[in-house]
Amino acid sequence: MKTEITFHWRKRNLKESILAVCYAVRLGYTSRVLLLSALPQFSKSRILLSLDALFSANMADVNMGVLSINSDMAIVEEIIGKPIVLSIPVPEDDAKPKLIRSITINLGLNNPAGVETLLKATVN
């Protein structure tokens, strides 16, 4: 028996803009003006919604006017949509949240609660 865990975005309509903001910040567009000029394909409100999602998940931080993205976002980008197959039986419904939390911690994520805020996990 195998258990398969797949992570998906909770806010599917913001996935492109969240990823775009993360990429832009990593490339050095860390101020409001630079970020808006780097992402002309997204409206201000969509960028703000993406930043709100990142801030509420504690995946973004502003210090002295400079925006930074948590390093956990690199892992999040890698696990989205890719099934994680485990050779254990499918757990009961009440044990699934514990399994998801232990998987996120074992993946090396420092902020598993933030990941669970951004992502939804399905266990099959």
- 21-47: per-residue pLDDT in tens? 999 999 999 999 999 999 999 999 999
Whether pTM exceeds 0.85: yes
Strands (E) across 3-118 are located at: 3-9, 60-63, 66-69, 84-86
Q: Are 14 and 119 contacting, i.e. CB atoms less than 8 angstroms apart? A: no
